[in-house]
Amino acid sequence: MTHVLVTTRGGIVDSVIFYDARKEAVRALADFVKRMDSEQEDAAVFSPEGLVANAKQLLESAEQVAAETLPNHSRKGTELEKVRREE
**pLDDT tens sequence across 13-60:** 999 999 999 999 999 998 999 898 888 999 999 999 999 999 987 777
N-terminal to C-terminal alpha carbon distance within the chain: 31
pTM, full prediction: 0.70
Domain ranges across the chain: 3-86
| C-alpha torsion sign, points 27, 29, 35, 6 | positive
